[in-house]
Structure 1
Amino acid sequence: MSNLVAGKLAFVTGAGSGIGRAVCRVLAREGAQVIATDQNIKTAEETVSTLTGTGHLSLEIDVSSSQSVDNVLKKTLDTFAKPPTIVVNSAGITRDNFLLKLDENDFDRVLQVNLRGTFLVIQKIVNILIEAKQSNGTSIVNMGSIIGKFGNIGQVNYGASKAGVENITKTAAAEFGKFGVRVNTVLPGFISTPMTDVVPDKIKEIFMNKIALRRLGKPEEVAELVLFLASDRSSYINGASIEITGGMN
């Protein structure tokens, strides 16, 4: 076993399902200790119960709340006595509707979780890392979406939030390079998760015809890319957006 991230502490948001859960499993398999955080603590606990190795932690988080992020990071430091040097921002929600019908609260909520949440987690963790002089070799991986690049009918809020995540990544990479912190975005296409399970079959078929591989992606396939970006194997990849779409056009 290569154990690509052995001895590292990984902090994953949205860890209770889908891509976030798959990321936790892959990082644990490769030797990391994992802090699985989710707004649904039960699902985070379920994730931890399936992980390889010991010493993992599940915590409840609302990434859009500054205080919640602070509390979770305090518990992390109390438990592990060191800050995480792998950070995966996978928490995300959708509130889909056509632009002309979209409720402004639904617009705001998606940006609060997907965009503000990513910003808060990065800001707070990197501040702790720099203060502790342990920032060198840190990798932050943000979950964007191919929708952030091309937009999508009924997803004006989601697409805008994910385009923003990509821009946060580029800015953070430019600002944090001198501290030895790398920041990258993964842009999944149509991945089979609870989030896509609710998409009507008709729409799925339209997407399937746009995918060269003619199938949905698996969360595990995205997780393997996240693992690569989290590990030292990708030591010169920084500020990048990497598509994982099965060849979507």
Structure 2
Amino acid sequence: MQDEKTDKKLALVTGASRGIGKGIAESLIARGYKVVGTATSESGCDSLRKDLQVLGSEHDAFVLNIADSEQVNAAIADFLSKHGTPYVVVNNAGITRDNLFMRMKDDEWLDVINTNLSGVYRVCKSLIKPLIKARAGRIINISSIIGTTGNAGQVNYSAAKAGLEGLTRSLAQEIASRNITVNAIAPGFIATDMTDGLPENQKEAILATIPMKRMGATHEIAGSVAFLASDDAAYITGQTIHVNGGMNMG
């Protein structure tokens, strides 16, 4: 829960090497957490560790492929032995394999479901016993507006994110009595290196669907994560918070 050397609460952030995940990691560090992030490659992990340790030598990173059950079990066991039980778990890692449904290959469907949905299951399953033993914690799953609205060419991604929100609600019910909250955040279109590379006409089409007429910033997702991790959110569980500039108002 807390790092013995620094007395800081411990946070684990998957998929923290860039974009929203890196913004979340940096935001939690700024709020006084010890953060351990993950990346899918050794080079990504080394780069992430270097960036995080600029903000404090206590922060760390390790390689995690949430699509691989054996690797998850081994990596999380090593993480627990080195750092202890996290207070905050942010499930951000994910992939896309976009294609129109009639052209979608089995591996495009299975890869996305295996990573974006089953991967979160694996991380939560590997941490659930120590969290319950600690009788405290915050699990925060990063979903997407696409899980609610759907999107042409993203049947696999939409299904995985909708499933993730169902997982969030059900797990929240199971462990609420242990003082562990489980919530999801569903970002809309967020300005990252991925969206920066979109053609201008595509960006304009996206902005036309957003009442606020701008993409979100990573710090706006990170701020929502920090709120759900805080004591102020202790009575919020099983919820999906939409952060999308008004694209979806439910």
TM-score, reference length from structure 1: 0.91
Q: Which moved more, 1:16-25 or 1:50-59?
A: 50-59
Q: State the Cα distance separating 1:200 from its structure 2 match.
A: 4.1
| Conserved? CA contact 1:29–1:53, under 8 Å | no
Structure 1 unmatched ranges of 5 or more: 1-5
Q: Could you tell me which amino acid in structure 1 is paired with residue 107 of structure 2?
A: N
**Aligned partners of 1:236, 1:160: CA distance in 2, in Å?**
28
Distance change (3 Å), C-alpha of 1:200 and 1:98: farther
- Write out per-residue CA displacement over residues 27-76 of structure 1, whole angstroms, 9 at most, x where no aligned residue: 11111111111213323332332332221111001112221111222221
2:157 counterpart of 1:127: no
The number of residue pairs the alignment matches comes to 240
| Conserved? CA contact 1:141–1:185, under 8 Å | yes
2:70 counterpart of 1:70: no
For 2:143, the equivalent position in structure 1 comes to 144
TM-score, reference length from structure 2: 0.91
- Write out per-residue CA displacement over residues 1-40 of structure 1, whole angstroms, 9 at most, x where no aligned residue: xxxxx71111111111111111110111111111111213
**Aligned partners of 1:232, 1:42: CA distance in 2, in Å?**
35
**Aligned partners of 1:247, 1:213: CA distance in 2, in Å?**
7
For 1:54, the equivalent position in structure 2 comes to 57
SS of the counterpart of 2:185? strand
| Conserved? CA contact 2:39–2:48, under 8 Å | no
Distance change (3 Å), C-alpha of 1:200 and 1:158: farther
**Aligned partners of 1:198, 1:116: CA distance in 2, in Å?**
29
Distance change (3 Å), C-alpha of 1:85 and 1:35: same
**Aligned partners of 2:196, 2:120: CA distance in 1, in Å?**
24
For 2:3, the equivalent position in structure 1 comes to none
Q: State the Cα distance separating 1:176 from its structure 2 match.
A: 0.8
Distance change (3 Å), C-alpha of 1:199 and 1:148: farther
Q: State the Cα distance separating 1:216 from its structure 2 match.
A: 0.9
Query: Of residues 106, 109, 112 in structure 1, which corresponds to 2:108?
Result: 106
Structure 2 unmatched ranges of 5 or more: 1-6
Query: What is the root-mean-square deviation of aligned Cα atoms in Å?
Result: 1.5
**Aligned partners of 1:152, 1:14: CA distance in 2, in Å?**
23
Q: State the Cα distance separating 1:230 from its structure 2 match.
A: 1.1
Q: Could you tell me which amino acid in structure 1 is paired with residue 21 of structure 2?
A: G
